[in-house]
Amino acid sequence: MEFAELIKTPRVDGVILHRPFMPTVEGTLCLTGHHLILSSRQDNAEELWLLHSNIDSIEKRFVGSLGSIIVKCKDLRVIQLDIPGMEECFNIASSVEALSTLDILSLMYPFFYRPMFEVIEDGWNSFLPEDAFKDLETMTDEWRLSDVNKDCTVCPSYPPLVAVPKDVDDDTLRKVATFRHSGRFPVLSYYHKKNGMVMMRAGQPLTGTNGRRCKEDEKLINATLRPGKRGYIIDTRTINLAQQAKARGGGFESEANYPQWRRIHKAIERSNILQESLIKLVEACNDQSHSMDRWLSKLEASNWQTHVKEILTTACLAAQCIDREGASVLVHGTEGTDSTLQVTSLAQIILDPACRTIRGFQGLVEREWLQAGHPFHHRCAQSAFSNSKPRQEAPVFLLFLDCVWQILRQFPCSFEFSESFLVLVFDHAYASQFGTFLGNSTAERAKLSLPEKTVSLWSWVNRPQELERLTNPLYEANSLVIWPSVAPQSLLLWEGVFLRWNRSSKCLDEAYEEMVHIIEYNKELQNKVNSLRRQLAQLETEDPLLQTLE
Partner 1 sequence: MEHIRLPKVENVRLLDRVSPRRSRVGTLYLTATHTIFVENEAGVLHSLVCSVEKQAATASGCSLLVRCKNFQVLHFVVPRERECHDVHLSLQRLSQPERCEELYCFSYKPNVDEAERRQEWDFLDLKADYSRMGLPNSLWKFSPVNQHYKVSDTYPADLFVPQSATPPVIVGSSKFRSRGRFPTLSYYSKENHAAICRSSQPLSGFSARCLEDEQMLEAILRSNPRSDFMYVVDTRPKLNAIANRAAGKGYENEDNYSNIKFQFIGIENIHVMRNSQQKMLEVCELRSPSMSDFLEGLESSGWLKHIKAVLDAGIFIAKAVAEEGVSVLVHCSDGWDRTAQVCSVASVLLDPHYRTLRGLMVLIEKDWVSFGHKFSHRCNHLVGDPKEVSPAIDQFLESVWQLMEQFPCAFEFNARFLITIHSHVYSCQYGNFIGNNQRERVELRLRERTHSLWSYLWKNQTDYINPLYRPDHSQTQGLLRPSTAPYFLKPGIHMCQSY
User: Which positions touch partner 1 (CB under 8 A)?
Assistant: 285, 290-297, 299-300, 303, 305-306, 308-309, 485, 487-489, 491-493, 495, 499, 502-503, 507-508, 510-511, 514-515, 518
Q: How many CA atoms lie within 13 A of 100 on its CB side?
A: 28
Name the residue nearer to partner 1 (CB basis): 507 or 545: 507
DSSP 236-266: SS-HHHHHHHHHTT-----TTT-TTEEEEE-
DSSP class of residue 226 equals P
Least Å distance between CB 529 and partner 1?
Answer: 19
Least Å distance between CB 303 and partner 1?
Answer: 8
Least Å distance between CB 19 and partner 1?
Answer: 17
Compute the CA torsion angle 123, 124, 127, 128 (nearest 10 deg). Answer: -160
Name the residue nearer to partner 1 (CB basis): 115 or 488: 488
Name the residue nearer to partner 1 (CB basis): 492 or 546: 492
Spacing of C-alpha 301 from chain mean position = 24
Least Å distance between CB 282 and partner 1?
Answer: 12
Least Å distance between CB 304 and partner 1?
Answer: 9
Least Å distance between CB 20 and partner 1?
Answer: 12
290 touches 146 (CB < 8 A): no
Name the residue nearer to partner 1 (CB basis): 193 or 409: 409
Q: Distances from the Cα of 329 to the Cαs of 187, 232, 490, in angstroms?
A: 11, 5, 27
Name the residue nearer to partner 1 (CB basis): 515 or 532: 515
Name the residue nearer to partner 1 (CB basis): 193 or 500: 500
Least Å distance between CB 346 and partner 1?
Answer: 17
Name the residue nearer to partner 1 (CB basis): 305 or 442: 305
100 touches 335 (CB < 8 A): no
Name the residue nearer to partner 1 (CB basis): 153 or 522: 522
Least Å distance between CB 483 and partner 1?
Answer: 9
Least Å distance between CB 291 and partner 1?
Answer: 7
Pairing verdict, β 197-201 and 329-332: parallel
Residues 6 or more apart from 284 whose CB is under 8 A from it? 295, 298, 299, 301, 302
Q: Distances from the Cα of 125 to the Cαs of 366, 447, 459, in angstroms?
A: 11, 17, 9
Least Å distance between CB 167 and partner 1?
Answer: 38
Least Å distance between CB 504 and partner 1?
Answer: 8
Least Å distance between CB 75 and partner 1?
Answer: 18
Least Å distance between CB 222 and partner 1?
Answer: 31
121 touches 459 (CB < 8 A): yes
* Angle, CA 54 vertex, CA 50 and CA 59 arms, to 5°: 85
Least Å distance between CB 489 and partner 1?
Answer: 5
Helix (H, G, I), strand (E, B) or coil at 192: strand
Helix (H, G, I), strand (E, B) or coil at 105: helix
C-alpha span between 492 and 484 (Å, rounded):
13
* Angle, CA 424 vertex, CA 423 and CA 425 arms, to 5°: 90
397 touches 376 (CB < 8 A): yes
Name the residue nearer to partner 1 (CB basis): 254 or 313: 313
Among candidate residues 47, 25, 51, 46, the one with its CA nearest the CA of residue 36: 51
Burial of 465 (0-12, 13-18, 19+ CB in 10 A): exposed
Among candidate residues 206, 221, 215, 329, the one with its CA nearest the CA of residue 266: 329
Name the residue nearer to partner 1 (CB basis): 40 or 420: 420
Name the residue nearer to partner 1 (CB basis): 248 or 294: 294
Work out the end-to-end distance of the chain between its first and last CA atoms, rounded to an integer number of angstroms. 88
CB atoms within 10 A of CB 518: 11
Q: Distances from the Cα of 287 to the Cαs of 20, 76, 276, 432, 514, in angstroms?
A: 14, 13, 17, 28, 32
CB atoms within 10 A of CB 153: 12
Name the residue nearer to partner 1 (CB basis): 293 or 452: 293
